[in-house]
Amino acid sequence: MLLRTLFALLLFTVLGETVVHAVAALAQIIVHRQALAAVETELDAAETAAQRSVADAIAAGASPASPNPQAPSPSPTCVARTQNGCTIFAQAAIAFASPEPSSSASPCPSGSCTAYEQENDAVAEGRIDAELAATATSANGSVLASRTARLSFRTLLVAPYALLSGQTDASVADDGTNPGDDAGAAPDGTAAGTLVDVLYRNRTTGATMPANVWRPQVQNDPGPTPAWAP
């Protein structure tokens, strides 16, 4: 009888420990998923904020060639809360940098990787890059997940002032097969292309004449994207 009792106690102890470990593992999975969802949401919000910052700078009078936008300061947001307080904080940082075309830059696999910028004074098209870095942290500051992305914006002197033209992140293999920046692509067959076409129109007669001033730009290799974690 005593042996049976001891065996039952041992069995219940093992089962109890198993349940505790299973509950802890499930809790970790839930936290991990919440952290991943949080950084993805932060990246989406940061992309919108970056585009708005560039557009606001140009609308306020900055040159599209060097708008020098002011990135909003990162602000932690509570994305998961229990009765004991916030368990997951998330935030994203934005850093702007103007691309620097170089004569020694390696071109993309095809000629379509050359972007044509509209240099007419009425448009003054340019480019600006932004790097986004989103993190999700626990209440004690431990990093639960992080994601990064690099964006390229077309900048224009006319509304909407900033347009997303390219994006890279660690979800795309850095194998050199990306087609490049299609913003500023010339018409190809039935495809209209993405060039900004400028025409001068005679107010009296309605006659038009082309006023395009194209500046070709070979796209630079953006370099390897920092790895995600975890």
When pLDDT is cut at 50, 70 and 90, the band that residue 4 belongs to is low
Position 229 in a domain: no
Mean pLDDT of 155-171: 85
Nearest alpha-carbon partner for 212 in 196, 192, 201: 196
Position 230 in a domain: no
pTM: 0.76
Nearest alpha-carbon partner for 65 in 183, 171, 161: 161
89-107: pLDDT as tens digits: 999 999 998 666 544 444 4
Domain carrying residue 147: 2-218
Q: Which residue has the higher pLDDT, 101 or 177?
A: 101
Q: Which residue has the higher pLDDT, 84 or 205?
A: 205
Position 224 in a domain: no
9-49: pLDDT as tens digits: 555 555 555 554 455 555 567 778 888 899 999 999 999 99
Domain total of the chain: 1
Position 227 in a domain: no
Structure tokens at 4: 């049976």
Nearest alpha-carbon partner for 169 in 137, 136, 130: 130
The answer to whether the CB of 182 falls within 8 A of the CB of 112 is yes
Nearest alpha-carbon partner for 115 in 189, 184, 171: 184
- Distance, CA of 165 to CA of 162 (rounded, Å): 9
Number of Cβ atoms within 10 Å of the Cβ of 25: 10
